[in-house]
Amino acid sequence: MHKFLIALVLLISFSFKSKHQPTCDEMKLFEKASFPVGAAINTDKLKNDEKYGKIVLSQFNSITPEKIMKAQYIHPKKEYFYFTETDHLIAFCKQNKIRLHGHTLVWHKALPVWLENFKGDKNEWEALLKDHIKTIISHCKGYIKSWDVVNEAFNDDGSLRNNIWLKNIGESYIEKAFLFAAEADPTAKFFYNDFSLESNGKKLNAVLAYITNLKSKGIKIDGIGMQMHVSPDYPYLSDINQAAMAMQEAGLLVHYSELDITLSGRHYFFASRSKMLNMQKDRIKSIVEGYMKLNPENRFGITMWGVTDNDSWLTEGNFRARPLLFDLSYKIKPAYCGFIEALENK
């Protein structure tokens, strides 16, 4: 009886696997692509998890650190910057000829306690902002040549987020941030990064108008990161493509900077797994196809926000999300094949 049960379980799991195991050429994504293909990296996993490291090396030629360059980690005390982890990652990227994209200098989240409690007038806050940005960029500028300078500064209604920087410095913190960045490394590419730009026209227009105005004042801003935390049926593909085209028309580089496609929507609750995985595949295929319609010189790249479904920030909150290209056992998913097919133009 016992043996019979084991055989049954094996049979079911085998048929599940073969039914669900996608087939496509497990080519290196970045070799097929005419633009950099990246992933957000968890540096602990990169050091300790061999299978994770293998995927990173074989598939991606661009890396965004998921956590270690955020203020909380890299600037834990006012007078102290912690660069050890960043230096490890720089060395890894250098050795393997992988682009490293700096993320993120000015944000309202992942702030160190000292900064949240900092008391000072506008000038002191500005000095702090300057020190933060210039110290980090100067330390990394031998290798890091692109940065998310300001992250998520807008509300959904297109107004400016009333974050710690706006409260203490005023609206000029945004242009100051880009100015300080350019002072530290005039040769790097600087990005404004935000979510919902692909789904919220009001926010997109506000951001584009704001950035265009700063550029016309001579502030160096090179591109926009569309985070692209999307789902299989939201937003419309046409909205995504139009947003990207609008950025291109404004003379900006376009980075799909944090792409993931969550399967956790409540209305998918009763849908079969294989159906969901195929929807995810079709979705990523069409997103990549749309991206490839941009001019090559405007394509900064597509970065997945994580490597496997184990290490996605969305899985932390909901195990049904499964938003990435590799599954819980590090195998390629249909979405991976969707990405490849788009690159192969099939």
Q: Which residues contact 250 (CB under 8 A, 6 or more apart)?
A: 208, 211, 212
CB-based closest residue to ligand XIL: 313
Number of residues that bind ligand XIL (CB under 6 A): 7
Q: Please select the residue that binds ligand XIL; options are 52, 55, 66, 321, rule is CB under 6 A.
A: 66
Long-range CB pairs of 205-210 (<8 Å, 24+ gap) are 205/158, 206/154, 206/158, 206/159, 207/154, 207/158, 208/246, 208/247, 208/250, 210/154, 210/174
Q: Please select the residue that binds ligand XIL; options are 73, 118, 143, 313, rule is CB under 6 A.
A: 313
How far is 175 from 130, CA to CA, in rounded Å?
Answer: 12
Q: Would you say 312 and 305 are in contact if contact means Cβ atoms under 8 Å apart?
A: yes
Distance, CA of 328 to chain centre: 20
Interaction of residue 73 with ligand XIL, rule CB under 6 A: no
Per DSSP, 325 falls in state S
Interaction of residue 151 with ligand XIL, rule CB under 6 A: yes
Interaction of residue 310 with ligand XIL, rule CB under 6 A: no
Contact code string over 209-248 relative to ligand XIL, x by CB under 6 A: ------------------x---------------------
* The dihedral sign for the CA sequence 180, 181, 182, 183: positive
Report the residue number, 126 or 152, with the smaller CB distance to ligand XIL.
152
Enumerate the H helices of 108-255 as residue ranges.
Answer: 113-116, 122-140, 164-169, 173-184, 201-216, 237-249
Active site residue 183: no
Set 258, 289, 297, 344: catalytic member: 258
The type of residue at 292 is M
Set 126, 152, 198, 341: catalytic member: 152
**In sequence order, what are the beta bridge partners of 63?**
39, 100
CB of 146 to ligand XIL, least distance (A): 15
Contact code string over 161-200 relative to ligand XIL, x by CB under 6 A: ----------------------------------------
CB of 109 to ligand XIL, least distance (A): 7
Q: Which two structure tokens, joined as six digits, stand for 296?
A: 């090559």
Report the residue number, 66 or 327, with the smaller CB distance to ligand XIL.
66
The residues annotated with a catalytic role in the active site are 152, 258
Interacting residue ranges for ligand XIL, rule: CB under 6 A? 66-67, 104, 151, 227, 258, 313
